[in-house]
Structure 1
């Protein structure tokens, strides 16, 4: 197996391993898709990529939603259900990479190939791992926020659920870059739980009251950045507290345009969903797969937003999973 690294935002075109797609529909392929949730713009865009590629290739997709990162047992049961349905391959965006590992290993042991998507199960037997350079996403946020704050200050982090591979890796990229390049900026508050947009409002409001010196907020996802902004605005600290995020939902795009978000480190979410489906089909038909498919991070600001091809990053606004 090989590794593919997309080097530009224009790299979505047909991959060499998938150049001339056969009629997969004639082979009656069924792919299972276990997603951790469909409440955030991120997993909505990811699911759009998976579904649109399945439709394009003519394969059947069985989609199961765990309903949230905390619902590990739900996702384990759903993966077991996909195994009982005897699907030809399974795509897993894990609620918790370590916790779902035993059931993923069980599926692999039964001859069902598994593709990890973004939040990768901690399994050595995956047919392919599809995701972004999450470390670089954290690094880019640190560089952006550090420069915006002039190299000194106090920041809080909404780092999302501990145990989520993507969240842990982004956090590490942010922390290591901050410690190395901006040692005068200190992290004084952090949440390692799964936080929603509404949850971020209460969380940041509490931090502002407890730590009045806060002048920056890191967000592992853009949905919480929207909540953080509402708390900052309510406290009348828009000119003091700077907010950064990852991903590029329509909400984040508008926040950038309005100056509410300093920057966001974006990834090709739709591209990842499409590629995960492709790799699953290849594995299901016993064709060679790519061990790792990685899309690069890109720093998005108000200045360069208009130059991006958003169809690779987010689902159409009309899409409903």
Structure 2
């Protein structure tokens, strides 16, 4: 199936067959997809999860969801993926906390005939090619953030970087391409910090940057967990509009901060569509359909106050109030 151009009942299904009172017939048994994420906290993973679960329900899959509880918990993610392989799932949607660490278990899955799909990233392991991957290019996100920084500060200025979780593929790739695109400009990095993907920690780190650099011109957040923390720190310091804030992912709190004048440029991803597409490619792989392309890049949308009220959110947010 060609995926280029396709971008124009809720259950969290778990494999509980052994606990059901009535044995399932062969026709009743649904194929199982595993999902392995380093962290399911935050607007982006919640929206992606909604897309996965809702689409799986429509297409007749069950989903076993595994959350390692943080990017530092590499061993836990390895154990979770290994358990999914032992369980005999048809496919594993993987967002690797450390792609190099997942080589062994990815090879184990490949040997068992299990499809491996990059979930929100274009890798499943550093030495194992994915059968497919669905993402918004993280390099492109970094480049779009750089475009926003240059637009907001055409004459240059100082910037502090909330760089994301240390060593995480997506955060490293975004920052690499951001720095590449601001090289040669008068935008000067004066502070850079990594931290866990946690709202309270992000607020603390951003506040520390502002205390050390009270006239800071801009804060960069790797995603909205970091970006909203930056915006809240700017608001607390009474610097909304003075210290510009840029980040990716347009969650509800990001919208609130932008309306308050404390967030200035957001590179919005479409995580609901990403999640849905991950499930669709598994369905195609199981039918033997050759994917073209197999690395599917979901478009980005740049959001400012100029288009905040008109941008289409259907593929960005789950239904209001939805929780897994």
| TM-score normalised over the length of structure 2 | 0.87
Question: Which residue number in structure 1 is paired with residue 79 of structure 2?
Answer: 77
CA–CA separation in structure 1 for the residues paired with 2:228 and 2:29: 45
Higher relative contact order (CA 8 A, sep 6+): 1
Q: CA deviation at 1:281?
A: 2.5
Which stretch of structure 1 is more off in the superposition, 271-280 or 155-164? 155-164
Question: Which residue number in structure 1 is paired with residue 248 of structure 2?
Answer: 246
Q: Is the 8 A contact 2:164 2:226 kept in 1?
A: no
Q: Is the 8 A contact 2:232 2:262 kept in 1?
A: no
Q: Is the 8 A contact 1:270 1:312 kept in 2?
A: yes
CA–CA separation in structure 2 for the residues paired with 1:66 and 1:6: 34
Question: Which residue number in structure 2 is paired with residue 279 of structure 1?
Answer: 281
Q: How does 1:85-234 map to 2 (within 5 A)?
A: 85-119=87-121, 120-121=123-124, 122-180=126-184, 183-234=185-236
Change (3 A) 1:6 1:257: farther
**Which of 299, 303, 318 is the equivalent residue of 1:315?**
318
Question: Which residue number in structure 2 is paired with residue 296 of structure 1?
Answer: 299
CA–CA separation in structure 2 for the residues paired with 1:254 and 1:128: 35
Q: Is the 8 A contact 1:72 1:95 kept in 2?
A: yes
CA–CA separation in structure 2 for the residues paired with 1:30 and 1:289: 20
Q: How does 1:13-32 map to 2 (within 5 A)?
A: 28-32=30-34
Q: CA deviation at 1:285?
A: 4.2
Change (3 A) 1:214 1:73: same
Change (3 A) 1:192 1:5: farther
- The gaps in structure 1 that reach 5 residues or longer are 12-24
CA–CA separation in structure 2 for the residues paired with 1:108 and 1:46: 24
Q: Is the 8 A contact 1:197 1:225 kept in 2?
A: no
Q: CA deviation at 1:298?
A: 1.6
CA–CA separation in structure 2 for the residues paired with 1:302 and 1:214: 22
CA–CA separation in structure 2 for the residues paired with 1:228 and 1:254: 13
Q: CA deviation at 1:3?
A: 7.0
What secondary structure does 1:98 align onto?
helix
CA–CA separation in structure 2 for the residues paired with 1:125 and 1:27: 29
Q: Is the 8 A contact 1:4 1:292 kept in 2?
A: no
List structure 1 runs of 4+ shifted beyond 6 angstroms: none
What secondary structure does 2:219 align onto?
strand
Superposed CA RMSD in Å reads 2.0
CA displacement 1:79-102 (0-9 Å, x = unmatched): 011011111111112222222232
Q: How many residues align?
A: 303
Change (3 A) 1:125 1:48: same
CA–CA separation in structure 2 for the residues paired with 1:163 and 1:285: 36
| TM-score normalised over the length of structure 1 | 0.88
CA displacement 1:129-163 (0-9 Å, x = unmatched): 11002222212211212221232111011121243
